Amino acid sequence: MAYTDRNEEEVHVHALDGSGTIQVSAKGGSQPIWGETSQQLFYRTFDGMVQARIHSSSSLGVERTPLGVMAGSVEDVSRDGATFLIIEPLGDRPAVQIAVGWADAVRRQLLARTR
């Protein structure tokens, strides 16, 4: 089980078989997402995304690989760990607008033109 400790802002992994808990992130971390296997974990740091390989021989251990900066919130990762689903903030871009009942409005406008 991977989780973020809100007091320390670090990512931890707890083995459900009772073999231990380790801190995965080294200098802050959040948004842990498991990869294809239970040995592959991705998480966000202040410097970008990190891929962590979790080793569980006699005790839990971790090997970290920085992946670079990615804007937005990482929501999922592909099975091969090469593609991320990221939700980016809209910023200056226009917001999405949803029109409800537009068909009736168009119908009324068309009827008004034919009169």
Asked whether residue 113 is domain-assigned, the answer is no
Domain boundaries, position 86: 2-90
Q: Is residue 42 part of a domain?
A: yes
71, part of any domain: yes
Tell whether 102 is covered by a domain: no
pLDDT bucket at 10, cuts 50 / 70 / 90? very high
- Condensed to tens digits (0 to 9), the pLDDT of residues 42-86 reads 888 888 888 888 876 666 678 888 887 777 777 778 777 777 777
pLDDT at 97: 66
Residue 13: pLDDT above 70? yes
Structure confidence at residue 49 (pLDDT): 86
Higher pLDDT, 114 or 3: 3
Total of domains in the chain: 1
- pTM for the structure as a whole: 0.66
Nearest in space to 51 (alpha carbons), one of 19, 84, 18 = 84
